[in-house]
Amino acid sequence: MALHAFVEYLKYIWKAKGRHGVHSPFVYDMVEHVLRDKEIIDKTYRVDCPDIPLKYENLVSRIAAYYNYKNVYVLPSEKQTNVPLDMLVLNEVKPAEWGSFLSDNISSLKNDGAVMITGIHKSTQHSDAWKKAHADDRVRVSIDVYGLGLLFFKKEFKEKQHFVLKY
């Protein structure tokens, strides 16, 4: 583990909250039914992200299963289509390219869709790109679980919120 990743992990441990430190019903529900869930994931929702730890690959699959996301694309390995996306996973994409991937694909996301970004604290560049990604005005809720960043774009969320959650 690089020094930057270690320092970011210490910050994460210090800031991370459980379900009782969350005031958003949406995020509380996610903590309760996704992050704390240990049940076997239905095969139809398995998402392959071979370059990330199994813990985070399972989290992506659990999110897909819980929110019934059927159209999940892992970039850059999968071809882009014109099908409305439920979830977009940026797996091992260079941080400098996150902005362009988001800009190119955000219009394809359904209103209740999500973007998952792997390795958000691997290096200074990753952490900086993550800060820019969750600061985007289109992002309504962002969640940091250290090895993975989650971005939600639901227009129903009135206020922009960012959470650092234990996982």
Predicted confidence at residue 2, as pLDDT, reads 85
Predicted confidence at residue 98, as pLDDT, reads 83
| Residues ≥6 apart with Cβ < 8 Å to 75 | 88, 89, 90, 91, 93, 101, 105
78-107 pLDDT per residue, tens = 666 678 889 999 888 888 888 888 888 888
Predicted confidence at residue 79, as pLDDT, reads 67
Predicted confidence at residue 39, as pLDDT, reads 84
Mean pLDDT of 38-43: 83
26, 16, 106, 124 alpha-carbon torsion, rounded to 10°: 170
pTM: 0.88
Predicted confidence at residue 80, as pLDDT, reads 65
Mean pLDDT of 49-61: 88
